[in-house]
Amino acid sequence: MRSRELAKYRTRLVEERERIRKSIARHQEVLDHSKQVDGMAHSNHMADQGTDEARQEQAIGLMQSESRYLYRIDDALKRIEDGTYGQCELCSETINQERLEALPYTRMCIDCAEKEDAKRG
């Protein structure tokens, strides 16, 4: 891949990484805040408690999927440094540009990704 294209994907990945980090930090704040509220007397907040728990669960769920996403982004940035970015991990074919545009952190070409998906059912 040409270095100008690599630089473009690199910028996108770095920006995305920042966005996800901030988002994780926000969810963390929700969790910290809920803990503080829990620490206070919540006898008169019985009705709110269910919503609060749901919010915590949602925040945890989002943080988990965002952490996985963050890992993929870091991994892609490493591959840019290694010079293996844009190459399919399984068949070593070049991943097409359209796919990279849509999923800059992908490790597989569309054929391999579909095969993997089929395997997982």
CB of 87 to Zn ion, least distance (A): 9
Which residue stretches of the chain are H helix? 3-39, 46-82, 97-102, 110-120
Is 32 in a helix, a strand, or coil? Answer: helix
- Residues for the chain: how many in total? 121
CB of 75 to Zn ion, least distance (A): 16
Site for Zn ion in 72-101 (CB under 5 A): 88, 90-91, 93
Site for Zn ion in 101-120 (CB under 5 A): 109, 112
Is residue 94 within 8 A of residue 3, CB to CB? The reply is no
Between 66 and 89, CB nearer to Zn ion: 89
CB of 71 to Zn ion, least distance (A): 21
Q: How far is CA 3 from the centre of its chain?
A: 25
Which residues contact Zn ion (rule: CB under 5 A)? 88, 90-91, 93, 109, 112
